[in-house]
Amino acid sequence: MTDKNNEKIDKNKEEPGGLRVKPINNGTVIDHIAGGQALNVLKILGISGTTGATVSVVMNVESKKLGKKDIVKVEDRELREEELNRIALIAPAASINIIRNCRVIEKRPVDLPDEIVGVVRCQNPNCISNTHEPIKSRMLVKVKNPVLLRCLYCEQPLANGIAEYLI
Amino acid sequence: MTDKNNEKIDKNKEEPGGLRVKPINNGTVIDHIAGGQALNVLKILGISGTTGATVSVVMNVESKKLGKKDIVKVEDRELREEELNRIALIAPAASINIIRNCRVIEKRPVDLPDEIVGVVRCQNPNCISNTHEPIKSRMLVKVKNPVLLRCLYCEQPLANGIAEYLI
């Protein structure tokens, strides 16, 4: 979905009292993250700070839609769809804005894929994915909202507290 | 140390191209954090995002002094000196600005205390502070720069990779 609106206008509407973080010229904006989940979003995206990317984060700002929300802006990097969709694990209402030359060139919700590989650890300590075998965790997405995962190997379900099981 | 300068003027000088995160009205600004250490600073301060505080973070922005730096702004909360000084463990060049009514009322560097309690885990797995005993880790600060810690219980030193041992 393409949205021709300028990002700045869009955001000021959402955040009364003005923007906390200025619009970026190029990169990816992840908006409408559930309040308090921004650090988990960074974890899912593999951004630890030491990656060198210029990243801005605001946590727990007012949102009409969510009450409190977080926003993450990653400059000069257009994150891939498969990376971004994993965010739906912990922030199902998140929306993605790809920015080029100060304009929003793509705007879309996150959409959980059918399978999540190497992102969430199985909660069964005896599962083969939790041993020292060279095996990546593989979780099937059985229900998207509220999220219900099932381990491909041992069939253990995972629904609550997914953030605690992020690898 | 009191500084009468307006924070905005101060920051624009430091960050060419304008502020990424807007000045806050009240709270604590931690500036000149070594690039990539902001998430560890949040960890040291016990801010996980689910604490409800409005927090802004920028990572890896240009700094004349540090090359790349991070900035953390915590709104409506004046962090205590003892909390803030722990930051020197991982960001010895950090500076603290306490903001009230849009003005910097205090500006000072971080200064590591002589002892750090309950913040850094001893790297000796057999240390009593790593067992299930109800004992908090206690690290003596032997050298402030570069940081050298020594466990009060088992005398194991800790100098490199302190961020990995944050509790």
Share of chain A above pLDDT 90, in %: 53
Residue B102 is assigned to a ligand binding site = no
* Beta carbons of B153 and B130 less than 8 angstroms apart: no
Could you report the predicted ipTM of this complex, rounded to two decimals?
A: 0.77
**B47 inside domain:** yes
Residue A120 and residue A143 in one domain? yes
Helix (H, G, I), strand (E, B) or coil at A117: strand
Residue B36, chain A, CB below 8 Å: the answer is: yes
3-state secondary structure of A38: helix
Where among B62, B77, B109 does a domain terminate? B109
* Domain tally, chain B: 2
By Cβ distance, the residue of B35, B55, B70 closest to A60 is B55
CATH at residue A133: 2.30.30.20
Same structural domain, A89 and A103:
yes
Q: What is the token pair recorded at A96?
A: 């993605």
User: Which element (helix H / strand E) includes B148?
Assistant: strand B147-151
Mean per-residue pLDDT for B129-136? 90
Residue B148 lies in a domain: yes
Q: Is B51 on the interface with A (CB under 8 A)?
A: yes
Residue A10 confidence (pLDDT): 42
pLDDT score for A101? 95
> Mind listing the pLDDT tens digit for each residue in B29-79?
999 999 989 999 998 888 876 778 899 999 999 888 888 999 999 999 898
C-beta atoms of B52 and A42 within 8 A: no
Distance of CA B97 to the CA centre of its chain: 12
Q: Are B53 and B77 found together in one domain? A: yes
Q: B57 touching A, CB under 8 A?
A: yes
B11 has a pLDDT exceeding 50:
no
Residue that is written with structure tokens 């994993």 in the block:
A86
A39 and B42 in contact by Cβ < 8 A? yes
Q: Domain range spanning residue B127?
A: 115-165
* pLDDT tens string A6-51: 444 344 344 445 567 778 999 999 999 989 899 999 988 888 767 7
Per-residue tokens: B34: 């070594």
Asked if B15 reaches chain A (Cβ–Cβ under 8 Å), the answer is no
Task: Flag if A56 and B58 touch (Cβ within 8 Å).
Answer: yes
Do A48 and A70 share a domain, yes or no?
Answer: yes
**Are the beta carbons of B40 and B75 closer than 8 angstroms?**
no
Number of H helices, E strands in chain B: 3, 9
Q: Do B44 and B98 reside in the same domain of the chain?
A: yes
Q: How far is B26 from chain A (nearest CA, A)?
A: 14
Confirm whether A35 is domain-assigned. Answer: yes
What CATH number should be reported for the domain holding residue B79? Answer: 3.30.70.140
Band of residue A146 on the pLDDT scale cut at 50, 70, 90 = confident
Please tell me the pTM assigned to this model.
0.80
The CA distance from A54 to B93, in Å, is 20
pLDDT attached to residue B19: 66
Q: Note whether residue A72 is domain-resident.
A: yes
Single-letter residue type at B32: H
Q: Are residues A99 and A142 in the same domain?
A: no
How far apart CA A90 and CA A117 sit, in angstroms, is 15
Chain centroid offset of residue B27 CA: 15
How high is the pLDDT of residue B163? 86
Q: Is B5 inside any structural domain?
A: no
- B105 with B126, same domain: the answer is no
With respect to residue B84, please indicate whether it lies within any of the assigned structural domains.
yes
Structure tokens at A150: 């099932």
A33 and A97 in a single domain? The answer is: yes
A71 & A85 share domain = yes
Question: What is the share, in percent, of chain B residues with pLDDT greater than 70?
Answer: 88
pLDDT band, residue B18 (cuts 50/70/90): low
Q: How far apart are CA B30 and CA B110, in angstroms?
A: 9
Tens-digit pLDDT profile for residues A56-102: 999 999 888 888 999 999 999 998 888 888 899 988 889 999 999 99
Same structural domain, B103 and B33: yes
Residue finishing a domain among A92, A109, A126? A109
A146: cis peptide before it, omega within 30°?
Answer: yes
